[in-house]
Amino acid sequence: MSQSSDDEYREWVRRLRDQSRRDAESLVPRPDYPVFGLAAPALTPAVLLHQSHSGFPVVVALRYGWWETATGPHVTVTSAAPKAEIRAASSVPGVPASFTYGPPVRDPERDLIREIDAERKRVAVHTGVDQDEPAEPPRYTRETLPIGDALVCRHGTMWAARLIDGSPEVIVTISGHGADPDLVRLEPVTDLAPMLAARNEVFGRLRERRRAMPPPVLEPAEGVAAWRALADFSLASNARIRQAARSGREPRMPVGSGPMRAALWQRAVRERQRFAGGSATTADGAVTAVINHVGHLDDRAAWFGTDARLREAAIDQTLRRALLADSVPSEPAQDAWDRYWSEHLAWLRLDPQAADRLAPARNRDTLADYWLRAWARWAATA
Whether 92 and 55 have beta carbons less than 8 Å apart is answered as no
Dist. CA 362–CA 60, nearest whole Å: 35
Residues linked to residue 49 through DSSP beta bridges, in sequence order: 61
Buried b or exposed e, range 139-178, using 16+ CB within 10 angstroms = eeeeeebebeebbbbbbeebbbbbbeebeeebbbbbbbbb
Whether 130 and 254 have beta carbons less than 8 Å apart is answered as yes
What are residue 324's phi and psi, to 5 degrees? Answer: -105, -5
- Is the link from the previous residue into 96 a cis peptide, with omega within 30 of 0? no
Dist. CA 20–CA 80, nearest whole Å: 20
Q: Which helix (H) or strand (E) holds 50?
A: strand 46-53
DSSP E strand boundaries for 81-180: 84-87, 98-101, 139-145, 148-155, 158-163, 171-177
Dist. CA 48–CA 174, nearest whole Å: 14
Please work out, in degrees rounded to the nearest 5, the angle formed at the alpha carbon of residue 296 by the alpha carbons of 351 and 324. Answer: 100
Dist. CA 170–CA 83, nearest whole Å: 8
Amino acid at 162: R
Dist. CA 202–CA 102, nearest whole Å: 30
Dist. CA 20–CA 16, nearest whole Å: 6
Domain ranges of the chain: 5-203, 223-381
Which of 77, 52, 75 has the alpha carbon at shortest distance from 62? 77
Which of 218, 143, 214, 50 has the alpha carbon at shortest distance from 152? 143
Whether 347 and 361 have beta carbons less than 8 Å apart is answered as yes
What are residue 325's phi and psi, to 5 degrees? Answer: 60, 30
Dist. CA 93–CA 252, nearest whole Å: 37
Dist. CA 116–CA 158, nearest whole Å: 6
Residues 6+ apart with CB under 8 A from 360: 343, 346, 347, 350
Dist. CA 94–CA 67, nearest whole Å: 41
Written as tens digits, the pLDDT of the chain (382 aa) is 334 344 554 555 566 556 655 555 555 445 778 899 999 999 999 998 876 555 555 788 899 999 888 889 999 999 987 764 443 333 333 333 333 444 444 578 888 999 999 888 888 888 888 888 888 999 999 999 998 999 999 999 999 999 987 777 888 999 999 999 999 999 999 888 888 888 888 888 888 887 888 889 999 999 999 999 999 999 999 999 998 888 888 888 888 888 899 999 999 999 999 999 999 999 999 999 999 999 999 999 999 999 999 999 999 999 999 999 999 999 999 999 999 999 888 877 755 444 444 455 567 778 899 999 999 999 999 9
Neighbours of 101 (CB within 10 A): 13
CA-to-CA separations, 104 to 80, 100, 218, in angstroms, rounded: 11, 12, 41
Q: Considering the entire predicted model, what is its pTM?
A: 0.73
| Coil vs helix vs strand at 309 | helix
Which of 274, 272, 253, 297 has the alpha carbon at shortest distance from 122? 253
Dist. CA 221–CA 268, nearest whole Å: 10
Residues linked to residue 186 through DSSP beta bridges, in sequence order: 38
- Give the pLDDT confidence score for residue 359 in this predicted structure: 52
Dist. CA 305–CA 375, nearest whole Å: 14
